[in-house]
Amino acid sequence: MIEAKDVSLIYSDGTIGLKNVNLEIIKGSMVYITGPSGSGKTSLLKLLMGMEFPTSGVLNVLGQAIKKEDTSGILKLRQRMGPVFQEFKLIKGRTAVENVMLGMRFLNFTYNQIKEDSISALKEVGLFHKAQSLVENLSYGECQRVAIARAVARRPELILADEPTGNLDTDNAVKILNLLASFKNDSRTVIITTHATHLIEGKKGAMYIRISEGSIHCERLEEA
Ligand SMILES: Nc1ncnc2c1ncn2[C@@H]1O[C@H](COP(=O)(O)OP(=O)(O)OP(=O)(O)O)[C@@H](O)[C@H]1O
Protein backbone atom coordinates (compact mmCIF):
# COMPACT_ATOMS: atom_id res chain seq x y z
CA MET A 1 0.00 0.00 0.00
CA ILE A 2 3.05 2.28 0.39
CA GLU A 3 6.00 1.60 -1.83
CA ALA A 4 9.07 3.78 -2.30
CA LYS A 5 11.76 2.86 -4.78
CA ASP A 6 14.97 4.89 -4.67
CA VAL A 7 13.08 8.01 -3.63
CA SER A 8 15.06 11.20 -3.09
CA LEU A 9 13.83 14.66 -2.17
CA ILE A 10 16.11 17.60 -2.77
CA TYR A 11 14.62 20.96 -1.79
CA SER A 12 14.89 23.93 -4.16
CA ASP A 13 17.81 25.40 -2.18
CA GLY A 14 19.76 22.17 -2.64
CA THR A 15 19.14 20.75 0.85
CA ILE A 16 18.80 16.99 0.86
CA GLY A 17 15.54 16.03 2.55
CA LEU A 18 15.75 12.30 1.73
CA LYS A 19 18.08 10.19 -0.34
CA ASN A 20 17.49 6.83 -1.99
CA VAL A 21 14.70 5.71 0.28
CA ASN A 22 13.37 2.21 -0.34
CA LEU A 23 10.37 1.21 1.67
CA GLU A 24 7.40 -1.09 1.70
CA ILE A 25 4.58 -0.70 4.20
CA ILE A 26 1.66 -3.08 4.03
CA LYS A 27 -1.96 -2.19 4.80
CA GLY A 28 -2.84 -2.31 8.50
CA SER A 29 0.69 -1.58 9.77
CA MET A 30 1.66 0.39 12.84
CA VAL A 31 4.79 2.32 11.89
CA TYR A 32 7.08 4.43 14.08
CA ILE A 33 9.58 6.70 12.34
CA THR A 34 12.42 7.98 14.52
CA GLY A 35 15.61 9.93 13.93
CA PRO A 36 17.44 13.06 15.05
CA SER A 37 16.17 16.57 14.33
CA GLY A 38 16.63 17.41 10.66
CA SER A 39 17.05 13.77 9.62
CA GLY A 40 14.09 13.74 7.22
CA LYS A 41 11.08 12.44 9.19
CA THR A 42 8.75 15.30 8.25
CA SER A 43 10.08 15.21 4.70
CA LEU A 44 9.00 11.58 4.44
CA LEU A 45 5.52 12.34 5.80
CA LYS A 46 5.17 15.28 3.40
CA LEU A 47 6.03 13.00 0.49
CA LEU A 48 3.47 10.42 1.64
CA MET A 49 0.83 13.16 1.79
CA GLY A 50 1.73 14.56 -1.61
CA MET A 51 2.77 17.88 -0.05
CA GLU A 52 6.23 17.39 -1.56
CA PHE A 53 7.19 15.30 -4.58
CA PRO A 54 10.12 12.98 -5.19
CA THR A 55 12.98 14.63 -7.07
CA SER A 56 13.81 11.13 -8.28
CA GLY A 57 12.53 7.62 -7.72
CA VAL A 58 9.01 6.20 -7.62
CA LEU A 59 6.55 6.57 -4.77
CA ASN A 60 3.11 4.97 -4.56
CA VAL A 61 0.70 5.57 -1.69
CA LEU A 62 -2.64 3.70 -1.49
CA GLY A 63 -2.27 2.91 -5.18
CA GLN A 64 -1.69 6.54 -6.16
CA ALA A 65 1.60 7.66 -7.70
CA ILE A 66 2.98 10.74 -5.91
CA LYS A 67 3.60 12.94 -8.93
CA LYS A 68 3.32 16.71 -9.21
CA GLU A 69 1.46 16.48 -12.54
CA ASP A 70 -1.43 14.48 -11.10
CA THR A 71 -3.07 17.20 -9.00
CA SER A 72 -6.56 15.66 -9.01
CA GLY A 73 -5.22 12.21 -8.06
CA ILE A 74 -3.29 13.74 -5.15
CA LEU A 75 -6.37 15.66 -3.94
CA LYS A 76 -8.41 12.44 -3.98
CA LEU A 77 -5.63 10.62 -2.15
CA ARG A 78 -5.59 13.27 0.62
CA GLN A 79 -9.26 12.57 1.28
CA ARG A 80 -8.27 9.03 2.24
CA MET A 81 -5.72 10.23 4.78
CA GLY A 82 -5.98 11.68 8.26
CA PRO A 83 -3.00 13.94 8.94
CA VAL A 84 -2.13 15.22 12.42
CA PHE A 85 0.25 18.13 11.97
CA GLN A 86 2.90 19.29 14.47
CA GLU A 87 1.21 22.66 14.79
CA PHE A 88 -2.33 21.12 14.83
CA LYS A 89 -3.71 23.71 12.35
CA LEU A 90 -6.85 24.33 14.42
CA ILE A 91 -8.96 27.36 13.61
CA LYS A 92 -9.35 29.88 16.43
CA GLY A 93 -12.77 31.36 17.09
CA ARG A 94 -14.31 27.97 16.30
CA THR A 95 -15.36 25.25 18.71
CA ALA A 96 -13.78 21.82 18.95
CA VAL A 97 -16.64 20.18 17.07
CA GLU A 98 -16.59 22.87 14.37
CA ASN A 99 -12.87 22.24 13.88
CA VAL A 100 -13.47 18.53 13.47
CA MET A 101 -16.33 19.23 11.05
CA LEU A 102 -14.16 21.58 9.00
CA GLY A 103 -11.74 18.72 8.44
CA MET A 104 -14.51 16.83 6.66
CA ARG A 105 -15.92 19.64 4.53
CA PHE A 106 -14.48 18.35 1.25
CA LEU A 107 -15.81 14.85 1.73
CA ASN A 108 -18.95 13.68 0.08
CA PHE A 109 -20.99 13.45 3.32
CA THR A 110 -24.18 15.21 4.35
CA TYR A 111 -24.08 17.92 7.05
CA ASN A 112 -25.80 15.61 9.56
CA GLN A 113 -23.39 12.79 8.83
CA ILE A 114 -20.44 15.15 9.28
CA LYS A 115 -21.79 16.43 12.59
CA GLU A 116 -22.53 12.92 13.87
CA ASP A 117 -19.10 11.59 12.86
CA SER A 118 -17.37 14.64 14.37
CA ILE A 119 -19.09 14.17 17.69
CA SER A 120 -18.31 10.46 17.80
CA ALA A 121 -14.66 11.21 16.94
CA LEU A 122 -14.52 13.65 19.88
CA LYS A 123 -15.99 10.91 22.06
CA GLU A 124 -13.31 8.50 20.87
CA VAL A 125 -10.55 10.88 21.94
CA GLY A 126 -12.29 11.54 25.28
CA LEU A 127 -13.30 15.12 24.52
CA PHE A 128 -17.06 14.95 24.13
CA HIS A 129 -17.44 17.28 27.12
CA LYS A 130 -15.39 19.96 25.32
CA ALA A 131 -17.17 19.73 21.97
CA GLN A 132 -18.67 23.21 22.31
CA SER A 133 -15.54 24.90 23.73
CA LEU A 134 -13.58 27.33 21.60
CA VAL A 135 -10.24 25.79 20.74
CA GLU A 136 -8.33 28.75 22.21
CA ASN A 137 -9.78 27.81 25.61
CA LEU A 138 -8.44 24.24 25.44
CA SER A 139 -5.15 22.98 26.86
CA TYR A 140 -2.29 21.93 24.60
CA GLY A 141 -3.06 18.23 25.10
CA GLU A 142 -6.75 18.82 24.44
CA CYS A 143 -5.94 20.69 21.21
CA GLN A 144 -3.85 17.73 20.20
CA ARG A 145 -6.81 15.42 20.78
CA VAL A 146 -9.08 17.69 18.72
CA ALA A 147 -6.51 17.45 15.91
CA ILE A 148 -6.57 13.65 16.24
CA ALA A 149 -10.38 13.62 16.24
CA ARG A 150 -10.34 15.72 13.07
CA ALA A 151 -7.96 13.23 11.44
CA VAL A 152 -9.89 10.08 12.40
CA ALA A 153 -13.40 11.44 11.79
CA ARG A 154 -12.70 11.16 8.07
CA ARG A 155 -12.44 7.37 8.46
CA PRO A 156 -9.05 7.46 6.74
CA GLU A 157 -7.12 4.49 5.43
CA LEU A 158 -3.89 6.13 6.52
CA ILE A 159 -3.27 8.22 9.65
CA LEU A 160 -0.06 10.23 9.66
CA ALA A 161 1.04 12.03 12.83
CA ASP A 162 4.10 14.25 12.87
CA GLU A 163 5.76 14.38 16.30
CA PRO A 164 2.53 14.04 18.28
CA THR A 165 4.42 13.81 21.57
CA GLY A 166 6.13 17.17 20.97
CA ASN A 167 5.41 19.32 24.03
CA LEU A 168 3.76 16.75 26.23
CA ASP A 169 4.91 15.31 29.55
CA THR A 170 5.59 11.56 29.60
CA ASP A 171 2.14 10.53 30.89
CA ASN A 172 0.30 12.51 28.25
CA ALA A 173 2.75 11.51 25.51
CA VAL A 174 2.07 7.83 26.28
CA LYS A 175 -1.69 8.48 26.24
CA ILE A 176 -1.50 10.19 22.85
CA LEU A 177 0.70 7.46 21.37
CA ASN A 178 -1.68 4.77 22.64
CA LEU A 179 -4.69 6.71 21.37
CA LEU A 180 -3.18 6.98 17.89
CA ALA A 181 -2.17 3.31 17.90
CA SER A 182 -5.74 2.35 18.86
CA PHE A 183 -6.96 3.54 15.45
CA LYS A 184 -4.87 0.96 13.60
CA ASN A 185 -6.87 -1.95 12.26
CA ASP A 186 -6.64 -4.46 9.41
CA SER A 187 -7.48 -1.88 6.80
CA ARG A 188 -6.04 1.24 8.44
CA THR A 189 -2.35 2.06 8.72
CA VAL A 190 -0.98 4.46 11.34
CA ILE A 191 2.37 6.18 10.86
CA ILE A 192 3.88 8.26 13.66
CA THR A 193 7.14 10.21 13.76
CA THR A 194 8.61 10.79 17.19
CA HIS A 195 11.77 11.69 19.08
CA ALA A 196 10.48 9.79 22.09
CA THR A 197 12.09 6.44 21.22
CA HIS A 198 11.88 5.24 24.84
CA LEU A 199 8.07 5.47 24.72
CA ILE A 200 7.57 3.32 21.64
CA GLU A 201 9.98 0.45 22.19
CA GLY A 202 8.77 -3.15 21.99
CA LYS A 203 5.28 -2.63 20.57
CA LYS A 204 4.26 -6.02 19.26
CA GLY A 205 3.84 -6.22 15.50
CA ALA A 206 5.01 -2.61 14.97
CA MET A 207 7.41 -1.54 12.25
CA TYR A 208 10.28 0.74 13.29
CA ILE A 209 12.05 2.93 10.77
CA ARG A 210 15.09 4.95 11.81
CA ILE A 211 16.14 7.81 9.56
CA SER A 212 19.49 9.51 9.71
CA GLU A 213 20.73 12.25 7.37
CA GLY A 214 17.94 11.57 4.87
CA SER A 215 18.52 7.81 4.64
CA ILE A 216 16.79 4.89 6.23
CA HIS A 217 19.41 3.42 8.53
CA CYS A 218 17.45 0.71 10.16
CA GLU A 219 14.10 -0.92 9.62
CA ARG A 220 12.75 -3.70 11.78
CA LEU A 221 9.53 -5.44 12.63
CA GLU A 222 8.82 -6.26 16.26
CA GLU A 223 7.42 -9.75 16.51
CA ALA A 224 3.70 -9.93 17.18
N1 LIG B 1 11.12 23.53 2.60
C2 LIG B 1 12.40 23.22 2.84
N3 LIG B 1 13.39 23.82 2.14
C4 LIG B 1 14.69 23.52 2.35
N5 LIG B 1 15.11 22.62 3.26
C6 LIG B 1 14.17 22.00 3.99
C7 LIG B 1 12.78 22.27 3.83
N8 LIG B 1 12.09 21.50 4.70
C9 LIG B 1 13.01 20.78 5.37
N10 LIG B 1 14.26 21.09 4.95
C11 LIG B 1 15.51 20.49 5.42
O12 LIG B 1 15.47 19.10 5.14
C13 LIG B 1 16.11 18.36 6.17
C14 LIG B 1 15.12 17.36 6.77
O15 LIG B 1 14.12 18.11 7.44
P16 LIG B 1 12.85 17.44 8.13
O17 LIG B 1 11.93 18.54 8.53
O18 LIG B 1 12.34 16.37 7.25
O19 LIG B 1 13.55 16.80 9.42
P20 LIG B 1 12.90 16.12 10.71
O21 LIG B 1 13.60 14.83 10.90
O22 LIG B 1 11.43 16.08 10.58
O23 LIG B 1 13.32 17.15 11.83
P24 LIG B 1 12.59 17.53 13.24
O25 LIG B 1 12.70 16.30 14.09
O26 LIG B 1 13.44 18.64 13.76
O27 LIG B 1 11.18 17.93 12.94
C28 LIG B 1 16.62 19.39 7.17
O29 LIG B 1 17.96 19.68 6.85
C30 LIG B 1 15.74 20.60 6.92
O31 LIG B 1 16.40 21.80 7.26
pTM (two decimals): 0.94
What are the start-end ranges of the H helices in 79-194?
96-102, 111-124, 140-153, 170-181
Taking the CB of residue 148, how many other CB atoms lie within 10 A of it?
26
Distance CA 196, CA 205 (A): 19
ipTM over 0.90: yes
213 pocket-lining for ligand 1 (C-beta < 6 Å): no
For 94-121, what is the mean pLDDT?
91
Domain span at residue 175 reads: 2-221
- Per-residue pLDDT tens digits for 126-142: 999 999 999 999 998 89
The CATH number of the domain holding residue 107 is 3.40.50.300
For 153-170, what is the mean pLDDT?
90
Tell me the percentage of the chain whose pLDDT exceeds 90: 80
Q: Is the pLDDT of residue 105 over 90?
A: no
37 pocket-lining for ligand 1 (C-beta < 6 Å): yes
Lowest average pLDDT, out of 26-30, 146-150, 162-166, goes to 162-166
17 pocket-lining for ligand 1 (C-beta < 6 Å): yes
Number of domains in the chain: 1
Supply the mean pLDDT for the chain.
93
- Per-residue pLDDT tens digits for 168-183: 889 889 999 999 999 9
Alpha carbon distances (Å) from 127 to 153, 155, 171, 191: 13, 18, 17, 23
Q: Is the pLDDT of residue 72 over 90?
A: yes
Residue 211 CA: nearest ligand 1 atom is 21
- Give the pLDDT confidence score for residue 206 in this predicted structure: 95
